[in-house]
């Protein structure tokens, strides 16, 4: 395809989609410049239309833990696709994938498949409100759980005041039912629960924050949330859309040994195809229609091709694959230490922050030097390394990022 042809794609996209993209982060507003037109990927690599190769650390923003174009996943998709369907009734693919999820995450006794992390988080909140009869939700500044109205809010003026919409089009009344705490700050959660005693249905948290860049939970933070919610009668929801089956075989709840009441999943369990899931204690999930009064539905939920891709993905995620990914990620982290920057890492999630120390919360993360990040992003792109186009996204290392790939990344960073 000629450069003119690629310009043509961009012009046509600009006329079709808001910002020329189907998800905002893809527009490169935070780093400037035009996104490359990427046509093919294999393993750790992607190629653009002129045929330039990049090492990819976007990994579809999380799903591609096995890298691009994994043969077994592609074959499972092809085999399922020619079987026809979906059939409008439960199939073996849904059962098999759900059993694999439950085997790895025992807190997920029962679950429901949906088609995105947004749907999963939104539905988990609905279950929590029904289970507790309460209306308020607590989330964390810098935590992202998809674009459902009640999760697109910002902290109000004072810490304990009601939230304001974080997006145009979110009703004030909806925003007011979500309270915003500070990540890694149990006192901020306690203050909210004390100012609204027994009114909070659930606290929803990314057990490893990955939407402010990677911010690990400080010791005692997650277990502290478990105690505070139990004491107040609120449910604890872990949003493991990113961490699930990435930071450990059983996700962050295995890594940190804290069991939530409900878990939100997505990304990896669909092997790169559209998916989400929410689940938890049996008596909570049995509140969901048709067994209970909480309505939630989805035309393509549990799609056999998506289930096949998820099953083929989880099957390959053996303990030694996790060990290898962690080893390569540790090498990358060590090699990226450079003056003026700090590296945060949990497993194969990693962020280079352009500030002296890794941040402990969103307000600290926001003090990173965005200009320096943008410069670093473009110099890495020019050197053939494709990073997520925002200081507040995580780098995703895959099983396909072997030693030569890590070495090439570090060589580019060195330059």
Binding residues for ligand KE4, per CB under 6 A? 23, 25, 61, 116-118, 121, 144-146, 206, 210-211, 239, 241-242, 266, 276, 393
Q: Give yes or no: 239 in active site.
A: yes
Give the shortest CB-247-to-ligand KE4 separation in angstroms. Answer: 12
Shortest Å distance, C-beta 147 to ligand KE4: 7
Tokens of 160: 């304990």
Annotated catalytic residue within 56, 185, 232, 239: 239
- Shortest Å, Cβ 328 to ligand KE4: 21
Backbone angles phi, psi at 291, to 5 degrees: -85, -10
DSSP 92: H
Rounded least distance, CB 77 to ligand KE4, Å: 18
- Contacts of residue 102, defined as CB under 8 A and 6 or more positions apart, other chains included, come to 108, 109, 111, 279
Q: What is the dihedral angle through the alpha carbons of 269, 253, 395, 32, rounded to the nearest 10 degrees?
A: 90
Q: Which of 54, 139, 232, 267 is catalytic?
A: 267
The span from the first CA to the last CA of the chain, in angstroms, equals: 30
Give min distance, CB of 34 to ligand KE4, in A: 18
**Strands across the sheet containing 45-48:** 38-42, 45-48, 53-56, 385-386
Kind and range of the H or E element at 279? Answer: strand 276-280
CA distance 120 to 276: 6
Distance in angstroms (rounded) separating the CA atoms of residues 148 and 208: 20
Nearer of residues 116 and 329 to ligand KE4, judged by Cβ: 116
In which residue are the tokens 């989330």 written?
A: 139
Choice between 65 and 241, CB closer to ligand KE4: 241
Which residue is catalytic, options 45, 54, 57, 144? Answer: 144
> Is 162 or 386 the residue whose CB approaches ligand KE4 more closely?
386
Is residue 406 classed exposed, middle or buried when 0-12, 13-18 and 19+ CB atoms within 10 A define those classes? buried
366 belongs to the catalytic site:
no
CB nearer to ligand KE4: pick between 115 and 409: 115
Q: How far is the CB of 341 from ligand KE4 (least distance, A)?
A: 20
144 is catalytic: yes
Residues 157 and 276: their CA atoms lie apart, in Å, by 33
- Collapsing DSSP to helix, strand or coil, 124 comes out as helix
Q: Provide the token pair at 287.
A: 């509140």
The residue nearest ligand KE4 at its CB is 117
Nearer to ligand KE4, 108 or 210 (CB): 210
Nearer to ligand KE4, 38 or 412 (CB): 38
Positions marked catalytic: 144, 239, 267
């Amino acid at each position: 395809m000629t450069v003119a042809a690629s310009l043509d794609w961009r012009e046509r996209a600009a006329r079709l989609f808001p910002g020329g993209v189907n998800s905002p982060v893809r527009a490169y507003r935070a780093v400037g410049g035009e996104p490359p037109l990427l046509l093919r990927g294999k393993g750790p690599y992607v190629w653009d239309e002129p045929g330039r190769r990049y090492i990819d650390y976007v990994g579809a923003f999380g799903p591609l833990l096995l890298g691009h174009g994994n043969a077994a996943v592609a074959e499972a998709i092809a085999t399922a696709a020619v079987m026809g369907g979906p059939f409008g009734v439960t199939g073996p693919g849904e059962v098999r994938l759900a059993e694999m999820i439950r085997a790895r995450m025992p807190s997920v006794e029962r679950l429901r498949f949906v088609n995105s992390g947004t749907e999963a988080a939104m539905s988990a909140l609905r279950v929590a409100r029904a289970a507790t009869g309460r209306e308020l939700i607590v989330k964390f500044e810098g935590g992202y759980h998809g674009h459902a109205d009640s999760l697109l809010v910002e902290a109000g003026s004072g810490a304990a005041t009601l939230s304001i919409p974080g997006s145009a089009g979110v009703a004030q009344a909806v925003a007011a039912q979500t309270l915003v705490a500070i990540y890694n700050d149990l006192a901020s959660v306690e203050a909210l629960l004390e100012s609204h005693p027994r009114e909070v249905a659930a606290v929803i948290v990314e057990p490893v924050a990955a939407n402010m860049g990677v911010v690990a939970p400080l010791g005692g933070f997650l277990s502290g949330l478990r105690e505070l919610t139990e004491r107040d009668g609120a449910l604890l929801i872990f949003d493991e859309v990113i961490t699930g089956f990435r930071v450990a075989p059983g996700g962050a709840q295995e890594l940190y040994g804290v069991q939530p009441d409900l878990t939100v999943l997505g990304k990896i369990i669909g092997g790169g195809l559209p998916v989400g899931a929410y689940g938890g204690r049996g008596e909570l999930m049995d509140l969901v229609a048709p067994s209970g009064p909480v309505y939630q539905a989805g035309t393509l939920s549990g799609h056999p091709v998506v289930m096949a891709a998820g099953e083929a993905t989880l099957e390959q995620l053996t303990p030694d694959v996790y060990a290898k990914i962690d080893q390569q990620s540790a090498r990358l982290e060590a090699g990226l230490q450079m003056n003026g920057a700090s590296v945060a890492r949990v497993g194969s999630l990693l962020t280079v922050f352009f500030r002296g120390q890794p941040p402990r919360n969103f307000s600290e993360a926001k003090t990173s030097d965005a200009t320096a990040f943008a410069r670093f992003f473009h110099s890495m792109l020019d050197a053939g390394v494709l990073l997520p186009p925002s200081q507040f996204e995580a780098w995703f290392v895959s099983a396909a990022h072997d030693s030569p790939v890590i070495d090439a990344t570090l060589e580019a960073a060195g330059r």
